[in-house]
Structures are given as C-alpha cells and as structure tokens.
Chain A
Amino acid sequence: MKRFGLISVPYFWLLALFLVPFLIVLKISLSDTALAIPPYTPTLDLSQGWAGFTEWWSGLDMENFTWLTQDDLYWKAYLSSLKIATISTILALLVGFPIAYGMSRAPDDWRPTLMMLIILPFWTSFLIRVYAWKAILSQEGLLNQFLMNIGLIGEPLTILNTNTAVYIGIVYTYLPFMVLPIYSALERLDESLLEAAEDLGCSRMTAFWLVTLPLAKQGIIAGSFLVFIPAMGEFVIPSLLGGSKTLMIGKVLWEEFFSNRDWPVASAVAVILLLILIIPIVLFQRNEEKQREAGK
C-alpha cells in the first residue's frame, strides 16, 4: 500500500502535467481554426460517446498538417532549423574537442578547477549569456572595433542579426554539453595504449586517429546529440541574435501562437517538430545505454 503511494504521486503528477498536455496539443492540432476564445473549434466531441468519436474520425481532414506542407514558410523553417542545428553541432565539436582533450591531458590537480570553469557558465543565466554577444557582434560592437583597430578590416562587418551570430550563440551556450561527455570519455583513456601504439611504430598523429578518436567516439556522439537536440527547437538565440531572415521552427511556433494566435497550426508545428526529434532522441538513448553497459 505504501509502495503504491510512493509510485502514484510522481506518476500521476507526470501523467497530468506532461502526458495529458501533450495529448491536448495533439487534439488541438487536429481541430479547426476559429476566431473565438479559445481560438479553435474542437472536432472531437466525447460527450456524445462513440458517435462523437466516429463523427470526428470521418471528418478528420488533417487540415492544419496539409497547411504546413502548402505554405513554404513551414518546411523552409524545418529545413533551416536542421541546417543551423547541424552546422552549430559541427562547430561546437570543433571548438569543444580540443578543450576536452586539453583538459584530459592537464596535470591532475588542475582538473577539478578546469572542470568547474566549464560548468560555471552552465549555472549562469542562459539569457544573459546570449545577451552578452549582442554588444560584441553589433556594427559598432567590440569585435568590429577590435578588428578595425588592428587594421584587419576597413569596414565594420555585419554579424549581428545574421545566421553567423546564431551559430556563435549556439556554440557558446551549449559548449559545456559538448565538452563534458568528451572529457569523461578521454579521461578514462589509458595512456599506456598510446605508448603501445607509438612503440609499435605509429606516429603521434596516427595514434590519435587509431586509438584516441575511436575511444572518444561515444563521448562525441553524446555531446553532439546534447547540442543538436536543443538547438533544433531553439527560440531565444535566433530571436536575440538572428535576423529577420533567420528561420527557425521554434521561433515560427512562438509567433504562430503569440502573434497570429493560430493555436491549431502552432500545435501542428509542435507535433511535427517532435516527430523530427524522435529520431535523434532514440539514437541518443541507445548510445547512453551502450555506454552504461560498457561502464559495467
């Protein structure tokens, strides 16, 4: 009986506030848009019992989903989110790997400090970290001032309000998620393996490719998913650093909901976004399980 109480409290909390809300999104995504409050007409009427369900089923037109395929905006936004998330993930890997590698080669008594320096930004406000780049990247910003002072450029570059600024923002804010899993993979690496490879005639570069990289693989995969998945649905970074041309699906959903007040379309956008993300989420969990088994 006690066990039932222990299980049921968190269980029902999550059912009521996680699963049910999502079913409501699904239901509204299949409703018709209307000029009313709330601004949709439900097509499923369960008060009529089974008759209500069959009527809904026969009248189901997936109108909002067809709409998503007809208007260019939506599929362009999905594609552009995919592109931005992919490029940012690759950039984060290129920036993050050398940091994780350097940390794993650092003297033992430096490591806790280095670790804290990586985690500290994660505890500071995400919004503030994105905002910090606004003053750096603008036309009269500090980066342009610096580059012009050292004579590298004559004219200020336009970086703020472009996709470049969005890449920088994503790499900057999600870098700890990339560094930490790679570091924990590299830290476990037994250095005698590298010595053995060198004794057997590998150059340091070849030893890196043949020994270090394969052993860091799962850390790299985990880090990449941890950057890619949240970047896909990102809203704050494109709306603060991106321009009017920066299309990302999180921003489209937000505007559909708050500006156009089209709840059914916003819900349909959410459903499709989740369908796209299910693939990387499942792959990520597989990778985690593999790692857990390897750790045992």
Chain B
Amino acid sequence: MSTDRARQVLAAPKDAVPPVPIPRPSIVPSSSNLPVRRWLLPLVSAVLLLFIGGACRGGDASPERHTLIDSRDTYDPRSLDPALSTDVPTGRVVAYLFDGLTGFTPDAALVPALAERWEISSDGRVYTFHLRRGVTFHDGTPLLARQVLKSFQRVLDPAVKGGRGWPLFPIRGAREFAAGQAGTISGLAAPDDSTVVITLEEPLAVFPKLLAMPVASVLPDSVPPDFGEHPVGTGPWRFVEWKHDDYLRFVRNDSYWGGAPAAESLMARIIPEPSTAVAEFEAGNVDILQVPEGDTRRWEQTDERSARLQSAPALRLYYVAINTQRGPLADVRVRRAINHAVDVQTILNRLVGGRGRLAAGVIPPALAGADTTRAPYAYDPELARQLLAQAGHADGMTVQLWSSTSPPFPRIAETIQGYLSEVGIRVELVQRDASSMREAARKGDTDLVLKDWFADYPDAENFLYPLLHSASAGVGGNVSFYSSAPYDSLVTLSRHESDESLRDSLYARADSIAFHDAPMLFLWFYNDLYAIQPWIEGFKVPVIFTGQRWLDVSISSPARP
C-alpha cells in the first residue's frame, strides 16, 4: 500500500476503535524471576488504548532498508556452535548458518538437504546418504563425506560438553563413544567423498528427522575453539556479527546450493520484553512479531492490525503432568476426575486469547497419527465428583500443583486450582522458577506440574516417546512417570516400523491408550500468532521452529511518490 494510505490510517479518528477488554493484573507475588512481565502486558494493553487509541502507527510504506529484522528471540543464544543447540534461539540461528543431511520446510515437511537422497536397507538399520555435489562452506572449502562423520563425532565427544547427544544415540556405537569407552563410532562410515553410511543400533523410523535437528549440522574441517563465536557452515546465511544480548547479523550466502535467499541480509534482534517487541513492531523497526497472548484480542479486533496477522498451529502441547506414582494419583479414576473437573476451553479463551485447540491426546492435530475425531474430556464437575467418590476420596484430597513463574503459567495454575477445589481437590500451588521446577519434576517430587512441550522434530514420536514412554521417565521428559506395558510396546513398535501408514495407526492407538489412562490433564495445542509488516513478502509462520530460514522472504521495494 502507498504512503497516502498510511496517512489516512494515521489520520483515522481514534474513537473508531472498538473497546478492548483490559486484562486484570494478577496479584499473586512471584517467588523469583522478573516480576515485570506479568504486569507489563495488561499495563501495555491499557496504556496503549489510552495513549494511542488503537491506531496502528507502523504505516504501510516499506522501510528504506534491505535487512530483514526478526524480533522473536527473548534471550541471547547459548552459542552458534551446533553442538550446544539446546534452546530455541540457538537452534534457530544454527539453522540459518548450517545444513544437516536433511531439513524441514516451514510446513514441517522433511526434505533432502546436504544429502540429495538416501536409501534404507530392508531391515531398517542401514541408511546410505548420497551427498549433494558442489556444495561449499562459507569459507569456500568443499563439502566432503568425512566432515559429516567428524561433525557427528564432535557432538558426541565428551570434551565438547554439548550435552545433547540423544539425537545421534541411535547410531551404533554412539553411546559407547560418548561415554569414552570407544575411540570411534562403529556405525559411521564414508566409503567415498560423497557417500555416508550410517548403521543404527536398531531400526528407527524417525531417524532422518533427527538428522534435520540443528545439533546434527555439518561443520567444515577446521573447527577452532572459538567456533561458537565465528561459525562457518553451508547454510543460506553467512555469519557477520554478534553483539551479545543485542543482535545477530547475517548476510545472504550467494552461492547457497538451494538458491540464495531473496533478501540481502538478516538481523535477529534480542528483545527480552514482549511489550517492547510490540512497540518496535508498531514503530516499523522489526518485520515480524510474535503477538503476546495478552495482546491477542487487541490485534484480532482491529482491522488494520488483523490484516497483518498470520497464524499456524505450533507443535506445542500445554498440559499438567500427573505423577502416576504418587498416592491417590496412581488411581486412574482420580486422574480422569481431574480431567473432567477443569473447564479447559474457558481457560484457553480467557488466559491464552483462545489460541489453541483442546487436546485429546498428546499428538498435535498437524501431525500424522493424531486422531482428530477423538473428543477431549468433557467439563463435567458432577462426573468428576462421582469418580473421586468411587476412588474413595468423597471427602476430598490434597495435591500440590507446581508451575513456573513465567506468564501465562501462574494464572493458568491458579485457575486450575479453582476448578479442582470445586470438586473437592484441595490444591497447594507451588511456584518456582523454571529451573527449580524442572529439577523437582524430573526427580518425581511433584504431584501435578503445569508445563508445555514443543517438538524438536515434526513427528508424533516426539510426543509419544519422551512424554510418556517408561524409558523416558524423569530426565527423558516423562515427568508423569507413566508406565504402561501396552503403551510402551505400541510406541516401541511404531519406532521400528518403516511402513508409514502402519506407523501412524500404531501412533493413534498408543495415543488412545494414553488418553484413557490420563497420565496428564490434557490442556491444548498452542497456535502461534505472528504479525507481519505489510512490506514483507513470502513469510510463512513455521510449524517447526527451525523451519523458517527466510529463503523466500523479501522486503517489497520502497513505494516512492
């Protein structure tokens, strides 16, 4: 749109904006962490309404810049070393700079990357990857098969202290190597410069997806000690500069094998406070924004703003893990009662801006294996009371509910407390910072723990196995300490099954068992909501966090009068 249109927008009468509900600030003190965030969103909604009257000041004219600017990171990446990519900001940046053998599209489809194609042996154990020819690193050196081997070894090397070996542990001999018991990884071989043969300990259908994770990126021969500050990869963007806690800058890799990105350069700003990111977006200084939950209605209800919104289902589950080994919670009737006692839809609408879809199982609807016909537990306090009475808790019971202090968790926990008390379950809230909470949950010291889980790779297995398989109990992610032989065997079977449709039906059956056993209070699958500046073309909200590498995104040329 033109500058004239922008002026019209700016001149629009301020009372033309519909009233926006002002969220009530929570009054519960937080035990640690910054108290600032829980106050800021409501405050900002109120203050924006008063001061700005809802007119979107971003304007429609393109900025006079050629750099795409991202505002999503709220904290500094750990490092740019793929071996240390255990969090979202790190993984996202590693995906800009590097490639793996495989990769993801914004829609979370698995596509060939450095491996042009691959074959799987009939027993599902041996993967033969054929490398793309003519690929070079940013320093000009050519890609060779031995670098793939060295990169994987490096991730598992005890000296690197990466801590994220699990995506490569399926490779035969990988665990022994990581434990320092073997000098090489027996399952890795490079018969020639463009072939990598990987032998697995046992068949694993999701293995090619694991190789698309940032940690499995391919590094050049030379990896100096400060590689994490000066990374060299094969990816679509080359590293330029990193000002810690401030921004990272990248320039496009003109010789990218997949075609150079459309834009010249890319900047990832680190903006810790969501309200500030909103202000930067409204000032036109950043190109995309993750709309804070508390701001959802304000954006959706203003035409000028809603036109800029784009939503996509995130592979992210919100849930309350119920420790199935603790006291009365070992009784499935109690766990079902908890599921019937809470009006999840209302919580979703009121506290998360309606951004999600009720969960009936752990597999997000966007993934194969999800049974979208299964109905979630109905909100039925009477049924919940009956179930509790059958389980011998007619007089009520007491449990602890843990949650972190970061929004929106405390308020969700408080609301769940309220619903549970209606059916006679007294809830003691325990609010801790995320680190303390995680430690307690992994040790099995929590009755109920409110948390979320998002996918590292787009596959139902990434939910079924870590969240509820007994082999993942504790640190592996199963903080329900759920242990069900039929469930375990279905999930294990599905992991080995190479036939896709058969695998999906195994996934669905396992999910159904878990749903009926209720090892968690199923909440919702989250929807991401982005605002995108009108001058940005080609941006798609990624389903998996590493899926959007800004390849096709451009800034439309500035509209000049």
Q: Do A and B bind each other?
A: no
Q: Mark A residues whose CB is within 8 Å of B.
A: none
